[in-house]
Amino acid sequence: MSTIFTQIVEGEIPARIVYEDETTVAFLDANPLSPGHTLVIPKDEYERLDDVPDDVATDLYATIHRMVPAVEDAVDADATTVAFNNGEAAGQEVPHVHCHIVPRFEDDDAGPIHAMFGQRPELDDDELDELADDIESRA
């Protein structure tokens, strides 16, 4: 069964589409966190970021790059939070890669992305070095 986003791409569900090209589409979030909250998706379904082919990832980023200033300008935002929830444990509710462009304002009290986490891990230099080496070896 196709995701709600695929149904939007196929025109089965209405959406306020603000940009579209051959591989991506951007539309207003139906449940916005702030005015102008926009989602950018690849037209084809990919559940997680690591499923997205390189060429589509390039197109996806190009659309995000295009849309951030357009959204900020449209709502006179001071800034934007641009984020992916990559996987269910991260809060991804629709299993179709999507980027949130959330307009931010100085008085919105939403805080930085770091505010999402309460207690942070205490890692010493050896643990950080080991993590860095492990991640580098997998990249």
Q: Could you give the CA distance from residue 5 to residue 41 in angstroms, rounded to a whole number?
A: 8
Active site (annotated) includes residue 98: yes
Q: Which of 37, 96, 98, 100 is catalytic?
A: 98
In 3-state terms, what secondary structure has residue 54?
helix
Distance in angstroms (rounded) separating the CA atoms of residues 122 and 89: 22
Cβ-proximal residues to 60 (8 Å cutoff; 6+ apart), any chain:
23, 24, 40, 41, 42, 52, 97, 99
Which amino acids are annotated catalytic? 98
